[in-house]
Amino acid sequence: MKKISTVAMLLALFMAPVAMGATTEEKTTTDESQGLLLNGFWDNWYISIDGGASVFMSPYDNNLEFTNRIAPNASLNFGKWWTPVFGTRIGLDYMSANGAALSGSAFGWQEALIDGSNDLHKQKLHGLRPHVDGMVDLVNLFGGYSPTRVYSLVIYGGFGYGYGWADGSSISDGMWNVELRGGLINSFHVSKQVDINIEFKLSKYDSGLCREGRAVQNWHNLNASANIGFAYKFRKRDWTAPVIPVVEPTVCKYSDAEGDALVAQLRDANKRIKDLEQQLADCQTPVTQVVEEDPAVTVYFSINQSTVRSGDRQVLRALAQSMKENPDQKYVITGYADSQTGTPEINARLREARAKAVYKLLVNYGVNPDQLSTTVDTNPLNKFNYVLDRAATIKFAK
């Protein structure tokens, strides 16, 4: 019987917690700044409208006072964000422009700009132009997506194709023209549904817009604009974030040196365990002596768990063999829980569940249920570290 006690004590030492410097418990959380976020096709659509002022810049416009060149413009857009970073939009622009042109090439107003000169004339243009843009949210690109962010800076570029005409001439005398466009959108998220946008745009047109150099389709017409408006975002508006693990360290009162010493002891015990198991198997003398004080085996559990780990299962399998060879010996399985964490109700449930888990495994390994009984103990199992109270013990019945 002393051999069995020795083996049981070494098995218990082998299964004690090894990393005494610190233990960790894994939790999970969501992090919107990580991973590629993708929603469904009908999510993250929006509609926007804006208006403001623009200044047209063609070769002769500097002959007109700058304030006389300011003209209104407006835009209606319908777009979708495919990810928090990349989006597209389609829209319709209305633009007007006040400029100057040579009398031989201008259409529209025919009012001389300079006293005594009929070479330069004022020109007031209008245009309607569908367009397509690609957008990149620079804040989400470099800072990661955050649902609580109140500002975004969006850069975009695209093209349009529309029709332009002038005051003082028939609309049918206008011309089709191509636009290359790009700009910045300062977007302020005043609510989940509404953004206030301040947009700066620069467009470049072919000469079909104002008929200067009509025979040669060059690109010398620019239009700079500054607009303010709002956008309404349709549901779904946010993005589903990935779930990542969060590890919170729990400080233990054992030092690294003390933990290393325990690890060394466990390595030595592991080397001797196979020999002791063989001695136990070869023992022919029936066991009649009962060791009452020390547990035959102590099984340790993770925090808030009652599942027996694989290493402990091997220990219980070896112990079950000894129990079956001594059918007259009875054993008491006692469940424990540490009092430093959890609530009294949770700890009571854990004590009962841990004792039952060990009982069921021993029965599964062939031990007669009549040899086993379970109980719980609310007192600490180990006075040095409450972590070691997360256990169940197996003792010889008195």
Give residues with Cβ within 8 angstroms of 40, minimum separation 6. Answer: 236
pLDDT confidence of residue 250: 63
- C-beta separation of 33 from 144 below 8 A: yes
Each residue of 84-93: pLDDT tens digit? 999 999 999 9
**Count of Cβ atoms closer than 10 Å to residue 295 Cβ:** 22
The stretch 332-350 carries a mean pLDDT of: 89
If you average pLDDT over each of 45-59, 185-199, 228-242, which comes out highest? Answer: 185-199
Give residues with Cβ within 8 angstroms of 91, minimum separation 6. Answer: 75, 76, 77, 78, 79, 130, 131, 133
Q: Which of 13-27, 176-190, 225-239, 263-277 has the lowest mean pLDDT?
A: 13-27
How far is Cα of residue 199 from the mean position of the Cα atoms in its chain? 30
- What domains appear along the chain, each with residue ranges and CATH number? 2-29+248-396 (3.30.1330.60), 37-233 (2.40.160.20)
- C-beta separation of 232 from 190 below 8 A: no
pTM: 0.51
User: Which of the two residues, 209 and 166, has the higher pLDDT score?
Assistant: 166
Phi, psi of 287 (to 5 degrees): -90, 120
pLDDT category, 368, cuts 50, 70, 90? very high
